[in-house]
Amino acid sequence: ASINDDEYETTRDKLIGGLLTADFDEGSCLSRYHKTFWYRKPSPYKPSEYLVTKLRSYESRHKRCGPGTKAYKKATKNLSRDKKNYASESAGECRYVVWIADYGLGNRMLTLASVFLYALLTDRIILIDNRKDLGDLLCEPFPGTSWLLPLDFPLMQYNRFNKDYSRCYGTMSEKHTINSTSIPPHLYLHILHDSRDSDKMFFCQKDQSLIDKVPWLIVRANVYFVPSLWFNPTFQTELTKMFPQKETVFHHLARYLFHPTNQVWGMVTRYYHAHLSKAEERLGIQIRVFRDQGGYYQHVMDQVVSCTQREKLLPILSTQEEAKVNISNTPKRKAVLVTSLSPEYSKKLKNMFSEPSRSIGEIIKVYQPSGERYQQTDTKIHDQKALAEMYLLSLTDNIVTSARSTFGYVAYSLGGLKPWLLYQPNDVKAPDPPCVRSTSMEPCFLTPPSHGCEADWGTDSGKVVPFVRHCEDDTYALKVY
């Protein structure tokens, strides 16, 4: 039977303008098709037809090359044959990039999206390190196959990927031990905060002409390296077609890749219905403190209050006298979702607004789903709470996040929100101004290369292309605007 226009539109919307494939069973992963529908206002950002086409062709490539296929078996076998030159023999249709799980969940989600985009640009398939708990957090994103790297994958037994690893690309290029006549069966890309420029330049055209021939790439990363991919002219042409709205890269890729498992989704939806759904407006405040265990500091509290009041996200409290003359008949119900390792911030905010009559025109309710005290990455329930909270934050209308926090970057970008960024406090005083409204919803690349690819070694990397500039919350880091 043919479907009518309405049904067609509904289906399209549920699939976020074709971003998602319809080929999954709904029950196995409830978040996949339901979330935008029920909880989030439709995103004003639509994926391009070109991106949709790229994703569908990626999915069929992943099916042909993924674990369990003949191609995968052949490729893993070749891995141990230490042939000198892979350029002379075609690596076949299937080339791989393996993502290694490292650092906190925010870091992981940013690097997963970066590595996936790199796979899209270079016609590779992404396989992810399955030794940690990612399978308890996220559903499979590609239909009819798996993105989990089989546990018996030969290279994973070593766990020695670092700059001094013999097949580390940066090290090899510094020592000139890689060239077009000696292509190794695998390479390791080191894209962490301590990377050297020789590691960071892997995306440049000259480097890519070699790297492209290597059948297996292993990536350890903890930074969102997408902004630098725009420096490669070939990638830039492709990226512009995929993402005509440049700042939507993570927003679209995250909604395509990251679907919380039913267990995590239960946490999100229960909390949402219990506390957030009835409010007329939702404000998210993510407080991340990068010192000691990330506990409570009065100057951080002062900063949050001063930012939210200055930006009119929360009301300035009136005196009892003022309140008497200013009573509004229909005060706006506003829910404030605070996330932090420390439970104290939300307690203080709750106290501030406990007398509704003093916040003229608004009734403020403050909630915080958890206060875990310290980071416990790779503990299943802790990571599930973290993911649930990033999602809950992404469902708010306005969001305030902490400078340089990848947890916050995921939350606002997933939600398609331009955040108010709390400047990183130095010492013990709240910075003035306390925060700034970001003009982009892209995450920031915290440790980018210091310069562009070519002869422009002296060129500041924030001046290579006009839309890749330094971040508001970090003047060294880079972001796409």
C-beta atoms surrounding 275 within 10 Å: 19
Per CB under 6 A, which region of 180-188, 240-248, 338-346, 349-357 contacts ligand GDP? 338-346
Would you count residue 304 as binding ligand GDP (CB under 6 A)? no
Per CB under 6 A, which region of 48-56, 301-309, 312-320, 379-387 contacts ligand GDP? 379-387
Q: Given the complex with ligand GDP, which of 215 and 443 has the nearer CB atom? A: 443
What track of x and - describes contact with ligand GDP for positions 162 through 191 (by CB under 6 A)? ------------------------------
What track of x and - describes contact with ligand GDP for positions 91 through 120 (by CB under 6 A)? ------------xxxxx-------------
Would you count residue 406 as binding ligand GDP (CB under 6 A)? yes
Would you count residue 340 as binding ligand GDP (CB under 6 A)? yes
Name the minimum Å distance from CB 435 to ligand GDP.
16
> Binding residue for ligand GDP (CB under 6 A) from 372, 472, 473, 474?
372
> Binding residue for ligand GDP (CB under 6 A) from 122, 370, 424, 450?
370
Would you count residue 473 as binding ligand GDP (CB under 6 A)? no
Would you count residue 395 as binding ligand GDP (CB under 6 A)? no
Would you count residue 394 as binding ligand GDP (CB under 6 A)? no
Enumerate residues 263-292 that contact ligand GDP by CB under 6 A: 288
> Binding residue for ligand GDP (CB under 6 A) from 33, 188, 407, 420?
407
What residue number has its CB nearest to ligand GDP?
Answer: 104
The first and second tokens of residue 449, run together, are 């290369």
Buried-state track 407-436, b at ≥16 Cβ within 10 A, e below 16: bbbbbbbbbbbbbbbbbbbeeeebbeebbb
Name the minimum Å distance from CB 40 to ligand GDP.
20
Per CB under 6 A, which region of 229-237, 268-276, 381-389, 462-470 contacts ligand GDP? 381-389
Q: Given the complex with ligand GDP, which of 125 and 138 has the nearer CB atom? A: 138
Q: Kindly state the number of chain residues that form the binding site for ligand GDP, as judged by CB under 6 A.
A: 20
Per CB under 6 A, which region of 228-236, 322-330, 336-344, 449-457 contacts ligand GDP? 336-344
Q: Given the complex with ligand GDP, which of 104 and 143 has the nearer CB atom? A: 104
> Binding residue for ligand GDP (CB under 6 A) from 36, 173, 308, 339?
339
> Binding residue for ligand GDP (CB under 6 A) from 126, 172, 226, 341?
341
Rg value, the chain, Cα: 24
Per CB under 6 A, which region of 4-12, 31-39, 232-240, 368-376 contacts ligand GDP? 368-376
**Which residues would be at the binding site for ligand GDP (CB under 6 A)?**
103-107, 288, 339-341, 370, 372, 375, 377, 382, 385-386, 389, 405-407
